[in-house]
Structure 1
Amino acid sequence: MLRLRSLSKIFSTRAGEVRALDDIDLTVDRGSIHGIIGRSGAGKSTLIRTITGLETPTSGHVDLDGTDVAGLRGGELRAFRRRFGMVFQHANLLSSRTAAQNIALPLEIAGRPSAERATRVAELLDLVGLEGRGDSYPAQLSGGQQQRVGIARALATRPDILICDEPTSALDSSTTRSVLALLSDLRDELGITVVVITHEPSVVREICDVVTVLQDGRVTESGPIAALAADPATQVHRDLLPLPVPAADEADRVVEVTLGHGGPDELEQALTTLRAAGMPARVHAATIETIDDVTLGRARLLLPVGSDRDLAERTLQEARA
């Protein structure tokens, strides 16, 4: 549905040129929840603005259903932008407007009749679980409820793609789970495509089908979340299956084991293999998660003092072969 081809964005500053986006190729499939994860300064905000036509690419293309944003001007560009709904980190509601009036704002700007606006707002309040709260002002709503109003507002004009910029970073853990569950339900019910921009691996793990890692303006990893999480060479694997850092005096005695569907059974098998080879290791740390309905894990085993770590790793590899 959305395809970025060789996309670059360069800003000129007094200190010289800053390459915010560097030759990005990326595809977002229709009906997917696509997570874009990256630390501060990775280029996430510039990517959002370029995708939605608020920034013009220095080079490359942004295609939505075959339409390249770079060739649009005036009314065509405004119509293109309306195909995106935006959910912000902070709900960014107008404090002088009620929840219903905040949701209605995009419809007012689009010139929709008042009766149509009222019907649509009532539908959206029900859809996001705020039926009966339309007359409440933002100050009378919790942070999670405000974000639900923001989601309803983003959906008001029936966009094709919902872009969520750090939608839960200002919320507590329980509210985060409820908002993420709402986004997942909206995708299933409306068939809308969702792009989630975040720096939090837990958000990606919770709802995303596909994940893209952005670093220094470049895509370093992209693919189905379960496939990337299962690959020990990826950053996604390390982010979604975190382990504590070993102490300095243990660092040269630890080996890592990737666990699949077998989970604890595979971990026990690795320990048995090392014991049989004369290296009775113990579990230093382990984590097992269900990601996209696939059980994945990662463990760190601590070898006895004087053990040959290279030999231990080869022994485990041969046992898995």
Structure 2
Amino acid sequence: MPTNAKAVLVVGGAGFIGSHMVLNLRRAGYQPVVLDNLSKGHRDAVLDAELIVGDMADTALLKELFARYSFAAVMHFASFIEVGESVKFPAKYYQNNVAATVNLIETMVKSGIKHFIFSSTAAVYGEPQYKTITEAHPLAPINPYGRSKRMAEEIIRDFAVSDGLNYAILRYFNAAGADPEGRLRERHEPESHLIPIVLQAAAGQRPNVTIYGDHYPTADGTCIRDYVHVVDLCSAHLLALNALLKGKKQLVCNLGTGHGYSVIQVVNAAKRVTGRPIETVVGQPRPGDPAILVADASLAKQELHWLPRYPDLDPMIEHAWKAMQKPA
């Protein structure tokens, strides 16, 4: 890494999306420094990037980090993200996703760091009021996870007014795929995301895939989601980072492909890609799950000139399957 590389603090950089971001920052010539408490992330996922094990709620640690490095920006990937868990344990989500995020932003702006990129979510919209969701869609989240992210977005805007914070809020739809070279993969413990669960069933690591509800108002009765490749998410973050460093003040964008796939379609695609049988069973719908979430990402394409490299479902599954085949 060149000594003049711009340092970027990647909070939550040992997780699925964060670790891919670290890889892409290095490739783009930045110096990523990872802060992660490893409650969800994996030490080996940062590869050979610098890792500080700690929490964004730790003000003293943050002050020490901001004094030690001249960070060009902070990227925040350290939210808890499970809808069902947020319904059962809302305090956990508000403490981490809201209170700890306030601490991170307050400490960074007091340290003179003005560029912030926030990993947000389509869950801030709630039940869609029209077919593809634009950024103008009302924010009406239906679960504590989505509400915690909406609160964090509002806090970011308030810091922009009070402290001159420059920000990019990137609202993901469903992150999927893996590093095409197989160096990184999705590995939540326990796994809760559909594509890796389906691939675990294909690999014989679980007996079947539970479909949570098959009476939604969709063509096959199962939920529809817009899947976006993790590599494409990272490219949007890089574009947002560059835009902020060049003087952009604020940006709020959806990140998705504009095309939704049902649970059944994902299972069938995984069968096609892997050539393996995959058994399914039908369970009860999960509280807080909208029937359909599909993005209109035209603003990201317009403002950032973002063009997804892997917009189709099959390559996302192929890359995730390839990464699963590599020894842990």
TM-score by length of 2: 0.27
- The structure whose Rg is larger is 1
Structure number with higher strand proportion: 1
